[in-house]
Amino acid sequence: MLEIERIPCRTDNYVWLVREPQSGAVGVVDPADAEPVEARLAARGLVLTHILNTHHHGDHVGGNLALKGKWRCTIVGPRADAARIPGIDVEVGDGDAYRLGAAEARVFDVPGHTRGHIAFWFPGARALFCGDTLFALGCGRLFEGTPAQMWNSLGKLRALPDDTQVYCAHEYTQGNARFALSVDGANADLVARAKAVDAARARGEATVPSALGLEKRTNPFLRADDPGLARAMGLAGAAPEQVFAAVRGAKDRF
């Protein structure tokens, strides 16, 4: 349905190479830089047809113009932030469908990290490309949005099936696990996952993608409506947005 390959970039970025075998369409999600993408395309003998951008940050669009200059590929990005996406051809937003060859993605507006952030969900491939909105055991910093906005955005992603694979854009999991344990250390699933993450990193392995079902049980930023986490934050009975804001604030200071 979709072949997905990880291209590590810069210090901790993951660019995702996505090939739809029926049509031969080949996309990259959030190319931080052109060179590592070019190297992988050359190694596999692939022709780049698409760039999918989740948001405007330089470590997500830095390779756009060089790749487009060479491949004349189509750049798809957030309608709400089109002016900040270099070389954008197709603007998409909440509820839109976009086809990469035979594979259809649904688009979600997920503002919070930036005001025009989007996510691409390929239901047939059970794959979610969510940029810097949802991370393994974390979520993006609120540079341009409010906690209530981000909680609402994460709610859209949390509503997807448990077997969805979360292809986020950074390897932040081990640091995120340390913070998660500090607020939700009584969560047995989280304790077990943190151990597994440490072991994987000690072996030099990536921890992304992760299963959304596991995120729902262990990621504190998806659990702001959990009464136990609210109590742990000293906010028993508070609105989830409030608990979310407290967890996000604690992470910013961690």
Q: Is 184 in the site for Zn ion (CB under 5 A)?
A: no
Distance CA(110)–CA(236), nearest Å, equals 27
CB of 120 to Fe ion, least distance (A): 16
Distance CA(154)–CA(201), nearest Å, equals 26
Q: Tell me which of 50, 56, 113, 117 is the catalytic residue.
A: 113
| Tokens, residue 170 | 């950074």
Q: Tell me which of 59, 81, 109, 184 is the catalytic residue.
A: 59
Burial (CB count within 10 angstroms: exposed 0-12, middle 13-18, buried 19+), residue 202: exposed
Distance CA(176)–CA(173), nearest Å, equals 5
Q: Which stretch binds Fe ion (CB under 5 A): 36-44, 116-124, 132-140, 194-202?
A: 132-140
CB of 213 to Zn ion, least distance (A): 25
| Tokens, residue 151 | 């909680």
Q: Is 33 in the site for Fe ion (CB under 5 A)?
A: no
Angle between helices 188-202 and 173-184 (to 10 degrees): 160
Q: Is 56 in the site for Zn ion (CB under 5 A)?
A: no
Element (H, E) at 131: strand 127-131
Q: Is 132 in the site for Fe ion (CB under 5 A)?
A: yes
Interface with Zn ion (CB under 5 A), residue from 19, 50, 56, 57: 57
Whether 50 is catalytic: no
Q: Tell me which of 50, 56, 117, 170 is the catalytic residue.
A: 170
Residues 72, 77, 81, 82, CA torsion sign: positive
Q: Is 132 in the site for Zn ion (CB under 5 A)?
A: yes
Query: CB-wise, 20 or 30, nearer to Fe ion?
Result: 30
Whether 81 is catalytic: no
Residues 88, 91, 93, 97, CA torsion sign: negative
Q: For the window 50-89, what string marks contact with Fe ion as x by the rule CB under 5 A?
A: ---------x------------------------------
Query: CB-wise, 2 or 136, nearer to Zn ion?
Result: 136
Whether 170 is catalytic: yes
Q: Is 171 in the site for Fe ion (CB under 5 A)?
A: no
For residue 77, which amino acid is it? G
Three-state DSSP class for residue 67: helix
Angle between helices 240-253 and 147-158 (to 10 degrees): 110
- Residues binding Zn ion: what is the number (CB under 5 A)? 2
CB of 71 to Fe ion, least distance (A): 23
Binding site for Zn ion (CB under 5 A): 57, 132
By annotation, the residues acting in catalysis are 55, 57, 59-60, 113, 132, 170
- Which spans of this chain sit near Fe ion (rule: CB under 5 A)? 59, 132
